[in-house]
Structure 1
Amino acid sequence: MPPPQIPPGPLHDLKAALYRRYLQAGPPTLDEIHAQVETLAEDLGAFLARTDATGDDVEELADGQVGAVPSRDTIRRVLGGAALPPGRQDTVAVGVALALLAGESRPDVVAEEIRRGWDRAAVAAPAEVAPALPSGGSRRFFDHLLEYHNEKFAGRNGEVRTILDYIDRHDCGYLFVDGLSGYGKTSLLAVLVRQQPGFLYHFISQRYKTAGGAFDPTQLNDLLSNLCEQLEPHRAAPRGGRALTTRFLEVVAADRGRPTVLVLDAIDEVDRHPSFLFGLLPKRLPKNLFILLSARSQGNRSYLSEVGLAPDDIGLRVTLSGLDADAVRDLLLHYAGTAGAALGERAGFVDNLWEVSAGDPFYLRFLVEDVEHGRLTPENIRRTPSGLSPYLDEQFAQLHRSADSDLHSDVLGLILVADGPLHRSDLLRMVDGLTGGKLDQVVRDVQRFLLRTGEEEYTFCHNRFKEYFLEKM
């Protein structure tokens, strides 16, 4: 098996470490490597006794089922493929198996080396991780969404690995991510498509549509044309109507020569009943097609029925819960500047921040910003409100004490009821007494709660803000 040709960088280093041990081990055949990985899965206790390895990836091999062992094709891709191996667990298992076949005395050290190498490659520049598949140009409309949701992300590495492992070990299937509003579904999928540039995607977001714009992610024609462009990049998609729907049904039913992952975020944001997606997603997917859906949790009711699917149609369901203290520490260490890096090493502060936030990812984003800018410190954290609504009450009470409080209320009220982002010129025209300079000041005062979707267009950065304001009005 020849080594993959990869430019210098984290992915090159990971592949080089694996291939070096492959050569040192013989090189062994795929059957020999597969047999050694099976031994790890079936005799985990003996392996731990010999090596003192305690890594999560090795523990995940403990179920002893044949399905948990990477296939020979997966092993071939881990060693010889030019892209990042999608399963970190499988990559570590192959690395440890090669270390044992090569007679290395500390495979636990190898496991940690491969684990860290995979993590570094996963967060590297997308162009370095894997070449992107040809895709339609409509994907560029989501660039600002991807940038926003990749800014501060932590605590979901396990969910990312679970999704990639499922795709790597199956030949097709539906995956479903759900969770409470603000618990990071869109962020998880945005990070995932950045890590895996070959994934196809569409984000159904009310916050990113523009009235009268060239692309509206909440409309059926724009959704179908975007997906058809990506699924069949070398064939022009019909402009709309029945022809476009028929084309989508054709391409989504066709077997594919290589694994293809289509990410469809926020299917619950289709603001029609019944959903226009009903009947467009086949119960059984063709070979090599995976569709990853997301929606808000709705108690005992599943949104899947709105798109013509049932829980039994889903091969993997990932429900996002609150973040744990380790994720809070990671956010402080990497996304809260020098102040956060120092406080991330203080267990008491991390625990207090976790208790205040209750692990709510959306609330944590703002608390981490407060730490970064010196507004939240060990001295005042005990006075920080527990829960997002009391926190917002406090934030907007401060705004109401300013000289421009009426302008704040007018601008935010218009953004609240607007059908999509509002342009700067619309705000200046609709608010009496609002000048360009005063609007700039209002935007600076509330910018952390807004999303700037164009050069001069504003909307709320999340539905939870709209829900908060609707309760207060």
Structure 2
Amino acid sequence: MNSLSFSASAKSENFVGRDFVFTAINNFLYRYPKGYFTIVGVPGSGKSAILAQLVRQNPDIIYYNAQIPGKNRVEEFLTDICTQLISKFQSLLNSENLDFDNYDSSVFSLLFQQISESLSPESKLIIIIDGLDAINLEHQAIGTNLFYLPRYLPDQVYFIFARRPYKKSHSGLLIEAPSQVLDLSDFQRENREDVKLYIQRNLTPLPPFPAREWGKDSSPLLVGEGLGERFNENEDNFMYVQQVLKAFAEGFYDQPENINNIPPNLESYYQQHWAKMQGDGLSDFAVNVLRVLTAGEIQPMSALAISQVINGDVFDVMEVIEQWLEFLHEFREGKETKYQLYHHSFRLWLRGCLPDIVQVRE
């Protein structure tokens, strides 16, 4: 596990804002007797911290993180979740039926059915899964729900997910229950305000930040000593902000040779993205698409516009883009959909990887 993988409690440390997300979740839980709620966001947008804060506030929630190495297989999921259910709700279960040879999907369904039938009217069984996109599908039957999640839910049972952007026709879930998707990209203003709040709290421990004005020279790490060049009023990526603040605090940017570099932990994070984007190897066509997406101060572009730049087929461009959706922002302008790499820092870092590809392929 690398230094960017945290437990639920660690991920909620220094948590700020996200009121619009909690309001949406609470409204869903109040409105529907059961259901699936999904938080969608690009890497570093704060999905994991939101779920960790939910767990921190509600200790009876069942929590599972599929992003942890070794935890993305269905066998691990079922064993872990069933064990948690038995431990937390043992008083509600039929003790005569708890001796299982192994934990499979039928045991999973049996447990939350029994719990549902025994819950008090005001109680809820909430199961959180972080990193739904990390699931390894090679270890479950083709055409089944991710982690064999149930198509039907008994009353008072809710699932809350976090996952990166995905093609809606490839959600991996067939469900017959109330559902709602909250896409963090639809709340750009709220995201920026929460990031601003996070920066202020971490830069200015005294006095309470509401007494200060954004941009005032109230901290030794503000504009004039390097942060102003990295953060601006449109910053909305928590992972980037967190790692840059940490690097400043640890003196990383005190070294002249590091002034234009990103912190090592952030680079490791980007390398994970890059490895996933490459898969078993990139075609020349995919490299050309990536050149367009990383070029200069590139604005969001449609698949058609990209195809015209590289003189390629628009359907081939779309096929490449769909493979990279989790790393892209998607913008809709009328009937047109445009794409842009999810964060400027990642785009600049990725551009630096391209010459190595050219060298290898030549």
CA distance in 2, matches of 1:357, 1:233: 48
CA distance in 1, matches of 2:169, 2:145: 19
For structure 1, which runs of at least 5 residues remain unmatched after alignment? Answer: 1-142, 211-215, 386-390, 396-445, 451-459
CA distance in 1, matches of 2:48, 2:75: 15
CA 332–295 in structure 1, closer or farther in 2 if over 3 Å, else same: closer
CA distance in 2, matches of 1:301, 1:162: 24
How far does the alpha carbon of each residue in 1:240-278 deviate from its partner, in whole angstroms, 9 at most, with x for none?
54x643221123334333432221222222212446746
Given the alignment of the two structures, is residue 271 of structure 1 paired with residue 136 of structure 2, yes or no?
yes
The residue correspondences of 1:214-293 to structure 2 (distance < 5 A) are: 219-230=76-87, 232-234=89-91, 235=93, 237-241=98-102, 244-253=104-113, 254-255=116-117, 256-257=119-120, 258-260=122-124, 261-273=126-138, 274=142, 277=146, 279-283=148-152, 285-293=153-161
The residue correspondences of 1:282-361 to structure 2 (distance < 5 A) are: 282-283=151-152, 285-303=153-171, 306-309=172-175, 313-321=177-185, 324-336=191-203, 338=205, 345-346=214-215, 349=223, 354-355=231-232, 358-361=235-238
Answer with 1 or 2: which has the greater Rg: 1
Cα deviation, residue 330, structure 1: 1.4
CA distance in 2, matches of 1:200, 1:219: 15
Given the alignment of the two structures, is residue 195 of structure 1 paired with residue 195 of structure 2, yes or no?
no
CA distance in 1, matches of 2:47, 2:229: 25
How far does the alpha carbon of each residue in 1:317-370 deviate from its partner, in whole angstroms, 9 at most, with x for none?
211235644223311232235599889732695986543874122211112224
CA RMSD, 1 decimal: 4.2
Aligned partner of residue 317 in structure 1, secondary structure: strand
CA distance in 1, matches of 2:213, 2:75: 39
Q: How many residues align?
A: 247
Q: Name the structure 2 match of 1:179.
A: 41
Q: Name the structure 1 match of 2:316.
A: none
Aligned partner of residue 345 in structure 1, secondary structure: coil
Cα deviation, residue 175, structure 1: 1.2
**Percentage of matched positions with identical amino acids:** 14
For structure 2, which runs of at least 5 residues remain unmatched after alignment? Answer: 217-221, 279-352, 357-362
CA 288–209 in structure 1, closer or farther in 2 if over 3 Å, else same: closer
Cα deviation, residue 196, structure 1: 1.7
Contact 2:65 2:71 in 1 (8 A): no
CA 295–230 in structure 1, closer or farther in 2 if over 3 Å, else same: farther
CA 204–278 in structure 1, closer or farther in 2 if over 3 Å, else same: closer
CA distance in 2, matches of 1:223, 1:340: 43
Q: Name the structure 2 match of 1:362.
A: 239
Aligned partner of residue 330 in structure 1, secondary structure: helix
Cα deviation, residue 289, structure 1: 1.7
Contact 1:225 1:239 in 2 (8 A): no
Contact 2:62 2:85 in 1 (8 A): no
Cα deviation, residue 148, structure 1: 2.2
Q: Which amino acid in 2 is paired with 1:336? A: L
Contact 2:145 2:174 in 1 (8 A): no
Higher-helix-fraction structure: 1
Contact 1:179 1:185 in 2 (8 A): yes
How far does the alpha carbon of each residue in 1:67-116 deviate from its partner, in whole angstroms, 9 at most, with x for none?
xxxxxxxxxxxxxxxxxxxxxxxxxxxxxxxxxxxxxxxxxxxxxxxxxx
Contact 1:205 1:217 in 2 (8 A): no
Q: Name the structure 1 match of 2:342.
A: none
Aligned partner of residue 219 in structure 1, secondary structure: helix
Contact 1:278 1:308 in 2 (8 A): no
CA distance in 1, matches of 2:83, 2:110: 15
CA distance in 2, matches of 1:178, 1:240: 36
Q: TM-score, normalised by structure 2?
A: 0.54
CA 278–370 in structure 1, closer or farther in 2 if over 3 Å, else same: closer
How far does the alpha carbon of each residue in 1:362-402 deviate from its partner, in whole angstroms, 9 at most, with x for none?
2111122244446679xx9xx987xxxxx54xx4xxxxxxx
CA distance in 1, matches of 2:191, 2:259: 19
CA 179–249 in structure 1, closer or farther in 2 if over 3 Å, else same: same
